[in-house]
Structure 1
Amino acid sequence: MELRQLQYFMKVAQKEHVTQAAEELHVAQSAVSRQIHQLEEELGVNLFMQKGRNLQLTAVGQLFCKRVEGIMKDLERAVTEVHEFLDPEQGEIRIGFPHSLGIHLIPSVVAEFKHRYPNVKFRFKQGKFPSLIKDLMSGEVDLAFVSPFPESHDQVAGDIVLTEELFAILPPNHPLAQEESISLEQLKDDKFILFSSGYSLRPIVWDACLQAGFTPSIAFESEETDAIRGLVAAGMGVSLLPEMALFQTNPLQPARVPIAEPKVTRTIGLIHRADDKLPLVAESFRNFLLRYFGLSNENTPIGK
């Protein structure tokens, strides 16, 4: 069994079409077909079955694909580690984060790290909490910012790097817009604009409203921080957002007012796979982030 056969097999499994796989691999279609045929002969099974004009993995093909995917990721990691050993400042950092951190935090920390190590590359993935955990466990990313921090997860380790206060955001002409602070109960009769289900800020806001003695009435649900801010500024409702999501990106801005009761916060954690050694460059970035958030005094350069 050759590496080339596994590479061709994975590409056909992904594209479900030999011609398209051959085009992406920049080889002849016959070469792909021959390698797949030889692989099936060696295994003594059919890995694919015809479905219309496409190919579909058989049951045993799906099982084989899952295992090969893990092998290919391990091989990619091994190659990366060799390159980083030769020149750790040329490595790639793969990091996931929720949308709300992409407005200010991620650009800030990446810019500072790139200033020190300009040749380091970054690969980013945005997502909701469940997809970020999934990306971390599958090896799609090496590090992930998540909120809330997962207090108990057997396969995840990390640190709470930040606890952030949430503010009430109100239309500029709202009766409470000029207050120094408010209680959340004062918004019980307002319509709320919340994140859609699956976003970690939604249950934080929902639970805070319940703690304040009311169930929020939802006017609109969104998947974008900018949309929530804009709709509130336009007078469509009220919401709660962390300070990090309140950096101005357009002229139309809502009023923001601190919430005195109850205090509403979210935790932001930096996590990694618990039983997996980070690549050198990712470990160096993690140490940099812990220093950035004041959690470590260690000052270890890349490769040391």
Structure 2
Amino acid sequence: MELRQLHYFVKVAKKEHVTQAAEELHVAQSAVSRQIHQLEEELGVKLFVQKGRNLQLTPVGQLFLKRVEVILADLERSVIEIHEFLDPEKGEIRLGFPHSLGISLIPQVVAAFRKQHPNVKFRFKQGMYPTLIRDMIKGDIDLAFISPFPDEHEFVCGEVLLTEELYAILPPGHRFSEEESIKLRELEDETFVLFSEGYSLRPIVWEACQEAGFTPKIGFEGEETDTIRGLVAAGMGVSLLPEMALHYTGPLQPAKVRVTEPQVTRTIGLIRRTNEKLPLVAKVFHAFLLRYFQERIQESQ
């Protein structure tokens, strides 16, 4: 069994199509088909069955895929660890984060870190809360920013880095747009622009409205902070967003107003796999982040 066969197998399993897998692998379709056939012969089982124009994993193929992904992830980490051992300053950090942190926070911390470690590379992966947890458990990423921070989890652990306030954002000219603060209950009759199901900010806003005594009327849903902010600025409704998602200087801007009763916040944490050592370069970045946010908290006090 060759490593190349395993890589080809995983690619075909993901694409469910030999031609598409071959295109991404930059090899001939016949080469991929041959390697898959040889792998099946060596194992003595069928890994795929034809379903229309696509290929579908058999039950044993699904089991084999899970094992192969673990093997390849371990191998990739081993190669990274060897490179880091030879020169930690030339390692790679695999970092996950939600989209709302990619606007300003991630660029800031990465830029600050690279001033001290200019040769370190980053591989980024954005995702929703459940996706980041899944990718962490699978070993696809070494560290991940996540919000809200999971209180208890069998497979991941970490630290809360900061707690961030959410503000009401309102269309320009809204009757509350010039107020310093409002009670959330005052938005009861408004149409809300919320994140789609699966995004961590949605339940935070929903639960805050419930605490304020009403259920928000949802007019529009989006998947990015830019979309939410833009829809509100265009007069399509109101919403709540964290402050760092409001760092935008375009021509169309919503009004930003502090919310009281209740004050709405979210936790931002940093997670890693439980009972597993971080790669050396990721360990250095982890220590840097803890110092960075501790200093940030001290400066704000």
> Residue 189 of structure 1 aligns with which residue?
189
Residue 161 of structure 1: how far off its partner (Å):
0.2
Distance change >3 Å, CA 176–CA 19, structure 1 → 2: closer
> Residue 158 of structure 1 aligns with which residue?
158
Structure 1 residue identity aligned to 2:230: G
> Residue 73 of structure 1 aligns with which residue?
73
Q: Secondary structure at the match of 1:230?
A: helix
Q: Secondary structure at the match of 2:294?
A: coil
Q: Is the 8 A contact 1:46 1:58 kept in 2?
A: yes
Q: Secondary structure at the match of 1:236?
A: coil
Aligned residue pairs, count = 296
Structure 2 residue identity aligned to 1:267: T
Structure 2 residue identity aligned to 1:157: C
Residue 138 of structure 1: how far off its partner (Å):
1.2
- Spell out the pairing of 1:18-167 with structure 2 (5 A cutoff): 18=18, 21-22=21-22, 24-25=24-25, 31-52=31-52, 54-167=54-167
Alignment RMSD (CA, Å):
2.1
Residue 91 of structure 1: how far off its partner (Å):
1.1
In structure 2, what is the Cα distance between the partners aligned to 1:150 and 1:80?
Answer: 28
Which deviates the most, 85-94 or 5-14? 5-14
Which deviates the most, 3-12 or 61-70? 3-12
Distance change >3 Å, CA 295–CA 280, structure 1 → 2: farther
Structure 1 unaligned regions, length at least 5: 297-304
In structure 2, what is the Cα distance between the partners aligned to 1:210 and 1:48?
Answer: 49
Structure 2 residue identity aligned to 1:192: F
In structure 2, what is the Cα distance between the partners aligned to 1:53 and 1:208?
Answer: 48
> Residue 5 of structure 1 aligns with which residue?
5
Residue 51 of structure 1: how far off its partner (Å):
4.1
> Residue 299 of structure 2 aligns with which residue?
none
Residue 253 of structure 1: how far off its partner (Å):
0.9
Q: Secondary structure at the match of 1:263?
A: coil
Q: Is the 8 A contact 1:161 1:295 kept in 2?
A: no
Q: Secondary structure at the match of 1:177?
A: coil
Residue 28 of structure 1: how far off its partner (Å):
5.5
Structure 2 residue identity aligned to 1:288: F
TM-score after normalising by structure 1? 0.89
Distance change >3 Å, CA 85–CA 172, structure 1 → 2: same
Aligned-residue identity in percent: 73
